[in-house]
């Protein structure tokens, strides 16, 4: 049976079950404190909103989303995918993102994906159906399942904040990659989505306390010693002599 998180009460009930399944998360929940469920619009609009935010800061992504939805009202897949490229570029969309939202709209129009049906699938099946579309990678699929559908068992193993939170929370030697974290998260089924919300909340608390960063540290370059011009000239003269 597929479980969804529609309210904060659903999230808290799921958190209770998650902690019972894995007591290691008790101190994690205590540190994270109270956190709420964040939901977004589902369907084609929801997917386009997430595509807009790929590899961008929250502020930049939000500005592009606002311009996109203001430009198309109502927001329909046929209208958006048939829009001129120059119009979409003026909204701040890159060529890659324009192609993605067009291809997703085309798949919806041709019936190659039914986003309503995706909303009823188990997490793994829904994930597979989404990543089969151009422009939707694992992270985009899982974010859609979590925030647009409220899927209780979707898990973005490739999310850097979730990985870093898991490293600190579980006292791991290094940050787990997507494959390693997905394996760890098997113990959290069918509440992996709740675990993701918990780890995000935990990450933000710990980040404020410790000032951690997901960006790799810059290595300092050693200054290059330059030989004086005179010595080089002298040496060359001797060699040529």
Residue 145 burial (CB count, 10 A) = 27
The β-bridge partners of 4 are: 151
Give residue 219's pLDDT.
41
Q: Same topology for domains 8-38+153-210 and 43-148, yes or no?
A: no
Q: What is the mean pLDDT of residues 190-203?
A: 97
Fold adopted by 8-38+153-210:
Endonuclease Iii, domain 2 (1.10.1670)
Give residue 1's pLDDT.
74
The pLDDT mean for the chain works out to 88
> Measuring CA to CA, which residue among 87, 70, 89, 82 is closest to residue 108?
82
Indicate whether 138 pLDDT > 80. Answer: yes
Give residue 240's pLDDT.
42
140 neighbors 54 (Cβ within 8 angstroms):
yes
What is the sign of the dihedral through the CA atoms of 205, 208, 212 and 218?
Answer: positive
Q: What is the pTM of this model?
A: 0.82
Residue 198 exposure: Cα atoms within 13 Å on the Cβ side? 31
Give residue 211's pLDDT.
61
Indicate whether 235 pLDDT > 70. Answer: no
16 neighbors 166 (Cβ within 8 angstroms):
no
pLDDT in tens, 70-99: 999 999 999 999 999 999 999 999 999 999
Q: What is the mean pLDDT of residues 113-120?
A: 91
Cα-to-chain-centroid distance, residue 35: 19
Domain ranges (residues) in the chain? 8-38+153-210, 43-148
pLDDT in tens, 139-191: 999 999 999 999 999 999 999 999 999 999 999 999 999 999 999 999 999 99
Q: What is the mean pLDDT of residues 20-38?
A: 95
Domain spanning 43-148: which CATH class is it, in words?
Answer: mainly alpha
Indicate whether 37 pLDDT > 80. Answer: yes
Indicate whether 232 pLDDT > 80. Answer: no
Q: What is the mean pLDDT of residues 15-44?
A: 95
Structure tokens at 89: 């570029």
**At 135, is the pLDDT very low, low, confident or very high (cuts 50, 70, 90)?**
confident
**At 214, is the pLDDT very low, low, confident or very high (cuts 50, 70, 90)?**
low
2 neighbors 9 (Cβ within 8 angstroms):
no
């Amino acid at each position: 049976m597929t479980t969804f998180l529609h309210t904060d009460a659903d999230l808290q009930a799921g958190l209770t079950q998650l902690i019972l399944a894995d007591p290691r998360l008790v101190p994690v929940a205590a540190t994270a404190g109270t956190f709420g469920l964040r939901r977004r619009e589902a369907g084609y609009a929801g997917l386009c909103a997430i595509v807009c935010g790929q590899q961008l800061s929250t502020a930049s992504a939000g500005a592009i989303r606002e311009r996109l939805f203001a430009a198309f009202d109502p927001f329909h897949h046929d209208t958006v995918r048939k829009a001129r490229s120059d119009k979409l570029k003026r909204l701040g969309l890159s060529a890659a993102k324009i192609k993605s939202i067009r291809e997703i709209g085309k798949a919806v129009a041709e019936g190659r994906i039914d986003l309503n049906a995706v909303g009823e699938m188990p997490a793994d099946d829904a994930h597979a159906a989404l990543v089969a579309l151009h422009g939707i990678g694992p992270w985009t699929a899982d974010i859609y399942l979590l925030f647009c559908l409220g899927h209780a068992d979707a898990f973005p193993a490739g999310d850097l904040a979730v990985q870093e939170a898991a490293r600190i929370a579980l006292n791991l030697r290094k940050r787990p990659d997507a494959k390693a974290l997905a394996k760890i998260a098997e113990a959290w089924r069918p509440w992996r989505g709740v675990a993701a919300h918990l780890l995000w909340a935990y990450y933000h608390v710990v980040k404020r306390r410790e000032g951690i960063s997901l960006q790799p540290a810059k290595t300092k370059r050693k200054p290059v010693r330059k030989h004086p011009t005179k010595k080089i000239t002298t040496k060359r003269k001797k060699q040529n002599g």
